[in-house]
Amino acid sequence: MGLIPIKIDEIYEAEVIDLENEAAGVCKVKGVTVFVPKTLVGEKIRFRITEIKKNFARGKLIEILSPSEKRVKSSCPYYEECGGCDLRHQSDDENLIFKRNKVIKALEKIGKIKTEVKPVVPSFKNENYRNKASFKVENDRIGFYGSGTYQLVDISYCKLLEDKINDALLIIRSYLKNNKNEIKTITIKLGNAMGELLIDVYSTDLKDEKIKDYLISNVKDLKVIVFNGKTVYGNGYIGQICNGLMFNCSSDSFFQVNSVQVERLYKIAIKEAKLSKNDVVLDLYCGTGTISCIVSSYVKKVIGIEIVEDAVIDANCNARINGITNSRFICGDVAKEISKIKEKIDVIFVDPPRKGIDRKAIAVMKKILPKKIVYISCNPVTMARDLSYLNDLYNVKEVTPVDMFPNTCHVECVCLLEKH
């Protein structure tokens, strides 16, 4: 640490020479790489050093001395402090270019893979697209943490969220202003089937369950309330329609946050897989069984594996309500359960969490040796790493980035692998 020739709170001027994976600008100061969020390539900036690590430092923008032609004015009043968005200061078209380049860099630098990366599939909506938000709460304040901090940014409206979630946020804010509480987080989900809301409250004081009556009386289209992990109002589910099927989703179940764009994502995945009626498909990290159910009409059989018990319960329910009889869902750790599969697997669909696929699971996937793997990823870095573990047996045919998260640095990918 002592060898780095810069100090916390020192102010410097430099030119941004690149954007890193999370869209922060990259500068060089006295030979040290410094990441400064919300800056663009070519800009000369003034910034303050906020954090120093062994091999790099972080800074906070003070002033743009020479702005980029690609810079646009953010329409969000919270953007400068809030950590929810990273790229509102750059045009939508440039953001798509950034995301494609981000995928290419990850594949080439981390995976040592050169393959076709298609242009990013743009989102139908760049605002008000998220069907879920997890808010932090501190007494009478509610919002999101600031970028790179645990400082709460108090907000009244988030431009990323569906309007019904913002409406519920205002009602909850009113409650917090008038009631002392020990609530820590509030998660709101919107089901697109009936426009119904699920509100999940976590508090360190059981007395805060009294918020239930207030929410029931004031929040329109409220379907479910969960308090500290227990359903205290409603049947525990909201409905999501995706690719013509109905899905019941509980509080702990994963469902893609961009309800409209996810249909395009799954259509791309199915199209690239070129499935046949004789195929047996394995769906890893299957969540509520969305991919399994959508794929089921194209193939002979689908087996889904998921570690979250509530999600597996939802998956079985979703198969029933859609009249699907050729699916089976297993609750357990993917790395352990995948080795127990007896059927000959033709195609594997895998949609892991951001940390990627477990190395043990990858080893078993290679033993199963399906003819194709369709890898859906929200993290190009871990995707590239995992592909590098598979490329001794599989060719990466093509990668299609899909913009599931406009105005942020994140991008979803559909990657097709075929056996050598």
Model confidence band, residue 255 (pLDDT cutoffs 50, 70, 90): confident
List of long-range contacts for 63-70, beta carbons under 8 Å, 24+ apart: 64/39, 65/13, 66/42, 67/40, 67/43, 68/40, 68/41, 68/42, 68/43, 70/40, 70/94
Between vectors from CA 373 to CA 367 and to CA 374, what angle results, nearest 5°?
155
* pTM for the whole structure: 0.93
Contact 81, 153 (CB under 8 A): yes
* Percentages of the chain per state (helix, strand, coil), in multiples of 5: 25, 35, 40
Eight-state DSSP code of residue 336: H
Residue showing tokens 């699907």 = 324
Model confidence band, residue 195 (pLDDT cutoffs 50, 70, 90): very high
In angstroms, the CA 232 to CA 29 distance is 55
In angstroms, the CA 95 to CA 120 distance is 10
Of residues 378, 409, 413, 415, which has the active-site annotation? 378
Model confidence band, residue 149 (pLDDT cutoffs 50, 70, 90): confident
Model confidence band, residue 2 (pLDDT cutoffs 50, 70, 90): low
Least confident piece of the model among 2-6, 286-290, 329-333:
2-6
In angstroms, the CA 202 to CA 113 distance is 43
Reply yes or no on domain 132-238 having CATH 2.40.50.1070.
yes
Structure tokens at 179: 């009631």
Residue showing tokens 């020739």 = 5
pLDDT of residue 43: 98
Q: What is the pLDDT of residues 206-234, one digit of tens each?
A: 999 999 999 999 999 999 999 999 999 99
Which residues contact residue 224 at a Cβ distance below 8 angstroms, ignoring those fewer than 6 apart? 196, 197, 198, 199, 231, 233, 234, 235, 236, 237, 238, 251
pLDDT of residue 300: 98
In percent, the amount of the chain with pLDDT more than 90 equals 93
Q: What is the pLDDT of residues 56-102, one digit of tens each?
A: 999 999 999 999 999 999 999 999 899 889 999 999 999 999 999 99
Does the structure show a pLDDT above 90 at 254?
A: no
Q: What is the pLDDT of residues 112-130, one digit of tens each?
A: 999 999 999 999 999 999 9
Q: 11-66 in CATH: which number?
A: 2.40.50.140
pLDDT of residue 83: 84
Structure tokens at 31: 């030979």
Structure tokens at 233: 């109002």
In angstroms, the CA 354 to CA 367 distance is 24
378 classed as catalytic: yes
Q: What average pLDDT score do residues 250-264 get?
A: 91
Q: Where in the chain is the domain with CATH 2.40.50.1070?
A: 132-238
End-to-end CA distance of the chain: 47
Q: Where in the chain is the domain with CATH 3.40.50.150?
A: 95-125+257-419
State which CATH number among 3.40.50.920, 1.10.150.120, 3.40.50.150, 3.40.50.2000 fits the domain covering 95-125+257-419: 3.40.50.150
In angstroms, the CA 280 to CA 344 distance is 7
Which of the pair, 196 or 252, is modelled with greater confidence? 196
Eight-state DSSP code of residue 404: S
Considering only CA atoms, which of 256, 263, 222, 226 is closest in space to residue 242? 263
In angstroms, the CA 22 to CA 91 distance is 16
Average pLDDT along the chain: 95
Q: Characterize the bridge pairing of strands 327-331 and 301-306.
A: parallel
Q: Phi and psi of 120, rounded to 5°?
A: -65, 135
HSE (CB half, 13 Å, CA atoms) of 132? 17
Considering only CA atoms, which of 368, 352, 367 is closest in space to residue 413? 352
Q: What is the pLDDT of residues 334-380, one digit of tens each?
A: 989 998 999 999 999 999 999 999 999 999 999 999 999 999 999 99
Eight-state DSSP code of residue 208: G
Q: Where in the chain is the domain with CATH 2.40.50.140?
A: 11-66
pLDDT of residue 1: 46
Residue showing tokens 């999940």 = 200
Q: Phi and psi of 13, rounded to 5°?
A: -120, 140
Distance of CA 360 to the CA centre of its chain: 24
Question: How many other C-beta atoms are found inside a 10 Å radius of the C-beta of residue 65?
Answer: 12
pLDDT of residue 253: 83
Does the structure show a pLDDT above 50 at 28?
A: yes
Considering only CA atoms, which of 414, 406, 410, 409 is closest in space to residue 128? 406
Contact 382, 412 (CB under 8 A): no
CA separation (Å) from 52 to 17, 56, 57, 149, 230? 19, 6, 4, 14, 42
Residue showing tokens 């793997």 = 373
Contact 46, 62 (CB under 8 A): yes
Question: How many other C-beta atoms are found inside a 10 Å radius of the C-beta of residue 392?
Answer: 8
Q: Characterize the bridge pairing of strands 301-306 and 280-284.
A: parallel
In angstroms, the CA 69 to CA 418 distance is 42
